[in-house]
Amino acid sequence: MTSPQISRRQFTSAIAATGLCAATGTSALANIKLKKKLELGIDNFAVRAMKWKAEELIDYAARMKVDSMFITDLYAFRSLEDKALKELKKKADDANVNLYVGTWSICPTSPRFKDEWGTAEEHLALGVRVAKALGAPSIRVVLGGRDDRKTDGGIEARIDDTVKVLKAVKSRAMDAGIQVAMENHAGDMHSLELIHLIEEAGKELVGVNLDSGNAVWTMEDPLVNLQTLGPYTLTTSLRDTAVWESDNGITAQWTAMGEGMVDWEKYFALFAKICPNAPVNIETISGFNHEIAFKNEDYMKAWPKGKPQGFDKFAAWAKGGKPRAAHQHPKNVDRAKATQEYQLGDIERSIAYCKKIGLGRG
């Protein structure tokens, strides 16, 4: 498989779209005439330290007065039996909370794949069944992570292996009315590589779980990433990011919404135009720095074709950033409790910010 390259027209279109959004100014989201308000929710990984099960997650979404809860981990369910899942759906319906669901790697040759749910095909089939029982429109999955780019055959081989799994389960998913939302996850696939996977597996089956923070790990500006993947987007896991130039390249720090460098009013004005039916689920993962060390020869072994198209836009964005220290918990405190408080603070500030700029239907 040859890794796809974005056409000049496609890339120019992406830049032009972000430029048009910029012209609307700081009130971009407020000024856009939406057919309906964007759905606002929480990705449960944002509160992973709480170790809440699905029932508690639904209660939390109701307390936060958001529209949806994205449960991206099958471990959150006390039972995967249809009866128990349908009871959860009723609980969510009664709380006026839409449910979305996900699981992890379905690439059998990825270092991140685990066989605890059976083979990759059995794992995906299970996810389809769970989504149907919960009334969710799709099942979120991932290929793997950035280490997959250095495996035998590179990311292209891992994409081929994942497509085989998707095709094997395609008829079952289509019969159930469930689509597969493939995430750009932890530096595994650039947006163009993800589009190639989708087109190989079939757009009628596979779409995107859009992750703005993960886009940065593949040297992509989040706005360009949105323009590229937005037409395929089914679900989202979004967070803010700060970036700055560093010794070996560019360093990124994920942050709470409104505390990084993404212009969210521009972002959601564009979002509302190209994927208005997708929920805006917030997945805060903050507190650490990650260097995209493209000046390092060993790092770039994961990118044998060189920096991806769109890199110049990403590099220009980073020029406006300043270094930030990683988060450190105060000394002499219970670390587990401090982590819980930190995560709750991040997501709750993020939800408040999103509501302030006009997101949410409630």
For residue 317, the domain's CATH number is: 3.20.20.150
Range of the domain at 222: 8-356
pLDDT value at residue 23: 39
- Domain annotation covers residue 1: no
Provide the domain count of the chain: 1
Residue given tokens 């495996």 in the structure block: 151
> How many other CB atoms are there within 10 angstroms of residue 4's CB atom?
16
pLDDT value at residue 17: 45
> How many other CB atoms are there within 10 angstroms of residue 181's CB atom?
29
Above 90 in pLDDT, residue 212?
yes
Sheet holding 233-236, edge to edge: 233-236, 206-210, 179-183, 138-142, 98-105, 68-71, 40-43, 280-282
Secondary element (H or E) of residue 41 = strand 40-43
pLDDT tens figures, 272-308? 999 999 999 999 999 999 999 999 999 999 999 999 9
Above 90 in pLDDT, residue 20?
no
pLDDT value at residue 304: 97
At 5, is the secondary structure helix, strand, or coil? coil
pLDDT value at residue 319: 98
- Domain annotation covers residue 103: yes
- Domain annotation covers residue 2: no
- Domain annotation covers residue 362: no
pLDDT value at residue 279: 98
Residues 6+ apart with CB under 8 A from 230: 210, 270, 271, 274, 275
For residues 31-42, give the mean pLDDT.
75
pLDDT value at residue 362: 77
Tell which wins on pLDDT, 157 or 8: 157
At 69, is the secondary structure helix, strand, or coil? strand
* CA–CA dist 347, 44 (Å, integer): 10
CA distance readout (Å), 150 to 120, 146, 163, 227, 250: 21, 8, 19, 27, 20
Residue 259: band (very low, low, confident or very high) from pLDDT cuts 50, 70, 90: very high
pLDDT value at residue 239: 98
Q: Measure the CA angle with vertex 247, ends 264 and 6; round to 5°.
A: 50
- Domain annotation covers residue 162: yes
Nearest C-alpha neighbor of 101 from the set 145, 57, 158: 57
Residue 1: band (very low, low, confident or very high) from pLDDT cuts 50, 70, 90: very low
- Domain annotation covers residue 202: yes
- Domain annotation covers residue 137: yes
pLDDT value at residue 29: 54
For residues 12-16, give the mean pLDDT.
44
pTM of the model: 0.92
> How many other CB atoms are there within 10 angstroms of residue 297's CB atom?
8
- Domain annotation covers residue 307: yes
